Structure 1
Amino acid sequence: MNLKKASATEYMDLKKICTDAYALNFHDHWNEGGLEWYLEQEFSVERIMADLADDTTEYFFIEHKLKQVGFLKIKTTSSTDLSFDHSVVLEKIYLLPECKGLGIGKWALGTLIEKLEARGTKKLFLAVIDTNLNAIAFYEKLGFSYHSKTRLEIPYFKEELKGMHRMVRELNSSK
């Protein structure tokens, strides 16, 4: 397995894995027209290129058996209510559905945590749908704990799925 930082020259590969992994997992979370709208907002060529040019944003390909099977996206700045020094937000981590349950997500997140600790990051935040008990349990097993409640304010997303748990993991920073 490999966690490889995406470069600007790989924007089309990144767009493909982002779109595929997200759409295959979350197509049923949207009201009519919403999935297409969201994919254009988050994973258009323009958005991906802008993110890759942003010093506070990083994408990583999750590779398994020499294939891209998922991705993750982190941001070193966060909303003002989470603006702690030396913290990072895990904005997205998605795997292709056929790769779930193989330990790939656990490995990718563990590898990311090692990289962040080596950089001196103190905390890793994420948000997860509060009714997604499997994902919450997954994050708890990896050392994350409940931080606060938030809400996803995004058009077309099903109302019953907008409640979010913000979770945090303290990191053992080497700096």
Structure 2
Amino acid sequence: MTIKISRCNFDDLAALQEISIETFNDTFASQNSVDNMNAYLERAFHLKQLEEEMSNSSSEFYFLYSDDEVAGYLKINSNDAQSEKRGDESLEIERIYIRNKFQRKGFGKYLLNQAIEIAKRQKKKLVWLGVWEKNENAIAFYKSLGFIQTTSHSFFMGDEEQIDHIMEYEVPGV
């Protein structure tokens, strides 16, 4: 198995939309209403929305390939692209999405480590992310890699307010 990561560009928008909807649906559909899921998917993963996000020079998308198949992707934000004002010394991991058939193969950890390496190159002292309070597997995963919960914020799934834990990781050597 060959693993590689490649930065996305505008030619990748349709594939990015497809994997975004697939992975988000697979992860959260069973815990949310159909109406709220549809409203969120339409808002967050509309092609124009993804194009706007990709146009921001402070956001980066990366596809993860297993052999020649897209297994998942990473989205990171810095500076003004962060979903919360966290300062210029912070890098946000907004999305680590792995397709179901590639789960439990270490790909999430691989992408997280890639984000930390990017943070080091950009001289960011802190990597942070938001994770739904009910996503116990993800919370345990991030804790196992040294992330700590520092606060929380609201996340809206359609018309339902949910709580995301904010978890932080201090980048060593920066």
TM-score (norm 1): 0.88
Alignment of 1:28-67 (within 5 A): 28-67=30-69
**Given the superposition, is the C-alpha separation of residues 141 and 21 from structure 1 closer, same or farther in structure 2, using an over 3 Å criterion?**
same
**Given the superposition, is the C-alpha separation of residues 156 and 28 from structure 1 closer, same or farther in structure 2, using an over 3 Å criterion?**
farther
Partner of residue 20, structure 1: 22
Of residues 131, 136, 144, the one that matches 1:141 is: 144
| Partner secondary structure for residue 76 of structure 2 | strand
Residues 38-67 of structure 1 show CA distances to partners (whole Å, capped at 9, x for unaligned) of: 111111111111111111211111211221
List structure 1 segments (4+ residues) > 4 angstroms apart after TM superposition: none
5+ long unaligned stretches in structure 1: none
CA RMSD of aligned residues (A): 1.8
Query: How many residues are paired up?
Result: 170
Aligned-pair identity in percent equals: 25
Partner of residue 128, structure 1: 131
| Partner secondary structure for residue 153 of structure 1 | strand
5+ long unaligned stretches in structure 2: none
Specify the code of the residue in structure 1 equivalent to 2:69: K
Distance in structure 2 (CA, Å) of the matches to 1:173 and 1:121 = 10
CA-CA distance at 1:103 after TM superposition = 0.8
**Given the superposition, is the C-alpha separation of residues 154 and 133 from structure 1 closer, same or farther in structure 2, using an over 3 Å criterion?**
closer
Alignment check: 8 A CA contact 2:36 2:157 kept: no
Partner of residue 166, structure 2: 166
Specify the code of the residue in structure 2 equivalent to 1:134: N
Residues 87-123 of structure 1 show CA distances to partners (whole Å, capped at 9, x for unaligned) of: 1111111111121111111111112211221121111
TM-score (norm 2): 0.88
- Report the structure, 1 or 2, having the larger strand content: 2
**Given the superposition, is the C-alpha separation of residues 154 and 26 from structure 1 closer, same or farther in structure 2, using an over 3 Å criterion?**
closer
Residue 100 of structure 2 corresponds to residue 97 of structure 1: yes
